[in-house]
Chains A and B, each alone.
Chain A
Amino acid sequence: MSRSIHPAVAGAQPFQLAVRERPDGPLLQTGEGKERLEMVLSRYPSPRAALLPMLGYVQSRKGWIEPSDMNEVAEALGLAPAFVHSVATFYTMYNKRPVGRHFIQVCTNISCHLNGAGEVLARFLEETETRQGEVSATGEFTVIEAECLGACGFATVVQVNDRYLECVTAEKVPEILKELRDSARSGAAASDEARRGSGERSP
């Protein structure tokens, strides 16, 4: 890494990304993971507070969080594995199963509901030939229904990995999927940039 992330924001990096390294073995004992853990720990009076940031870190590397990852985080923070499992399953953004490269979350809450979110969701499912939560045959897509994304004036709101798409209508769905497919072919560099994170120190 040429530039390092500032500790103040080390625990606040996007963790729903297109790049999935699926590394084998421990993530937090050496290299970037260890460095990230130390930075995060330095910001709180209690090591437990690093739990969400580190779960997020694991997901940013792998795309999802397996029980064995939860155990690793537990060990790194000196917490009981059962406790870490209870926390990891409390929060909806930790993927307990693999998701497609483009994780598409359609808000169907009230303001989007009033503006055709149901049709948008149905169209995404139809076009990706999946049911909610499944990974499409190509591995590219997973579509789920989401609760309010906090952008209700721009209904229907759709989150794709770490990005929001606003004012989505059912008619726009095929075009959106086409763009995502194309970016999957050329987008490794862009995604890599996303993974390097935000809030780097100036060089």
Chain B
Amino acid sequence: MSYPHRSDLETSTRLSRYQGRPEARALDGWERLGGYEALRKACGMSPGEITDVVKASGLRGRGGAGFPTGLKWSFMPEGGDKPHYLCCNADESEPGAFKDREVIRWTPHLLLEGCLIAARAIRAEHVYIYVRGEFFEETKVLNRAVVEAYERGYIGPNVAGTDWSCDVTVHLGAGAYIAGEETGLMNSLSGNRAEPWAKPPFPAQSGVFGMPTTVNNVETLATVPGLIAHGAEWYRQWGSDKSPGTKLWSCSGHLARPGNYEFELGVPLRDIIFGACGGTHSGKAVKAVIPGGSSTAFLAGDELDCATTYEGLQEAGSSLGTASPIVMDASTDIVAAMRRIAQFYAHESCGQCVQCREGTSWVVRILQRIEAGDGAPRDIDTLYDLCEQMTGRTICVLADSVVFPLRSALDKFRADFEARMKQRLFAPAAAAGGSARLATAGV
């Protein structure tokens, strides 16, 4: 297992403090480091009080959408006799993201503590931790922690000696990116195909097993114990007003020092890439960065002076997403990179929406054609047209997830696409008729 890198930029390693320290994995070690004290404190608070702290902290969901966590919790119904559930989303499958894995395998008890505090806040009787199927090694670490916590009374009847009971069950996925989308996750957890459903119903009304449910990301939940232990103001000493706190960053691609880092929100993207990560391993210039995982828009090498807050990256024309910059140096074939990204979404489309099912595979076919030197100049217009048709019309945002990188790649690296066309002018006539067939795609 690789150790996370440390760097001078990391003024505030809160979440990742114990990553790389094996003693934090086992319950004894975790307790020696002050583990489960936040849970004890939360057990002395009412659900409303816990939610108020999280609201005041301004914590935003780390699963990609950035929805305010305290607000989400407050959607859970107050009275009623229906059971409530918490789903911890550990499906981590967005290309570029590998931060939740690090939380689970180094600090499983931090995650469990966060799950239990959140469960108390939303009055959940059962927490389901849905881990992506491939994470067998991480699951083994988590399983051990769950059993330890049961045996020491942190999970089960009378949590930490109170009259409150809560169970935790670990559930393994089986290979489906779309199971990371929250309604897809709940369908998968209940034994169905991981197909998202159109909201309403919203999870807080009718979620998994038809009961009020909250879905939160691993990193979101792992942040919670710190908030309870130290308070909202403590958390707000980092980041901006709209993006408080610290954040894990999964940095990959052509970097000299790729890996996971924790930064205060708002550190300039340039500093992350050239400071902490040491720039490109080839020493070549940075051609492009996808800052928030493969479903966010490309930034060109001269657009890296933005602040890494939710609002800063939005102003820069992209988004924070899962905070997973994928860095590409000057040697990168943008057409091939975009084709590979699109292939992923075409493979992972659950197939319910025609714009997504057909659109993603058309995008792949056209990009493959361009990559092979068989593209026609009008293919670029067709791609833009597909972007238009795939935006905002589907049950979930997987279709939009291709559009963000694709449209920005066409906008910013159009010359790379056109260069491929030009070669074709000298080749014999080939691959005509593509766009005629496209018309029948009906997207």
Contact = CB atoms under 8 A, between A and B. Distances in A.
Contacts of A159: 134
A51 B173 contact: no
Interface in A49-104: 49-53, 55-56, 77, 79, 86-87, 90-94
Interface stretch (A10-18, A19-27, A133-141, A172-180): A10-18
A199 B144 contact: yes
Given A12-B131, A150-B101, A152-B252, A90 B193 contact: yes
Nearest to B208: A49
B96 A152 contact: yes
B170 interface: yes
A192 interface: no
Question: Size band of the A side of the interface?
Answer: 35 or more
B174 A55 contact: yes
A9 B211 CA distance: 22
A202 B151 contact: yes
Interface string B249-265: 01111100011100000
B332 interface: yes
B227 interface: no
Interface in B321-345: 324, 326, 328, 332, 336-337, 340-341, 344
Interface stretch (A111-119, A123-131, A181-189): A111-119
B209 A45 contact: yes
Contacts of A200: 147
A164 B170 CA distance: 20
B260 A150 contact: no
A32 interface: no
A52 B172 contact: yes
B326 A110 contact: yes
A51 B190 CA distance: 8
Contact of B98 (A48, A53, A147, A151): A151
A139 B324 CA distance: 38
A92 B176 contact: yes
Q: Which of A53, A92, A113 has the most CB of B within 10 A?
A: A113
Interface in B157-176: 167-176
Given A49-B190, A109-B340, A91 B176 contact: yes
A110 B336 CA distance: 9
B172 A6 contact: no
Contact of A108 (B92, B144, B340): B340
A126 B17 CA distance: 43
A199 B144 CA distance: 4
B146 A162 contact: no
B139 A198 contact: yes
A94 B173 CA distance: 10
B170 A11 contact: yes
Interface string A1-43: 0000010110111111000000000000000000000000001
A50 B172 CA distance: 11
Contact of A90 (B97, B194, B254, B337): B194
B381 interface: no
B6 interface: no
Contacts of B193: 86-87, 90
Contacts of A122: none
Contacts of A77: 191
B147 A113 contact: no
Given A114-B254, A149-B134, A8 B167 contact: yes
Contacts of B233: none
A115 B332 CA distance: 10
A8 to B, nearest CB: 5
B75 interface: no
Contacts of B328: 114
Contacts of A149: 134
B392 interface: no
A80 B361 CA distance: 31
Nearest to A153: B258
A145 to B, nearest CB: 10
Contact of B136 (A50, A154, A162): A162
A1 to B, nearest CB: 16
Contacts of B176: 90-92
Interface in B201-240: 209, 211
Contacts of B140: 14, 198-199
Contacts of A93: 133-134, 173-175
A36 to B, nearest CB: 13
Contacts of A43: 167, 169
Given A111-B326, A114-B326, A9 B97 contact: no
A87 B193 CA distance: 5
A52 B171 contact: yes
A121 interface: no
A12 B348 contact: no
Contacts of B194: 90-91
A148 interface: yes
B408 interface: no
A90 B132 CA distance: 14
A168 interface: no
A77 B92 CA distance: 29
6 contacts: A8-B150, A9-B147, A49-B189, A91-B133, A151-B101, A159-B134
User: Lowest 5 CB-CB distances: which A-B pairs, in order?
Assistant: A199-B143, A93-B175, A92-B175, A48-B191, A91-B174
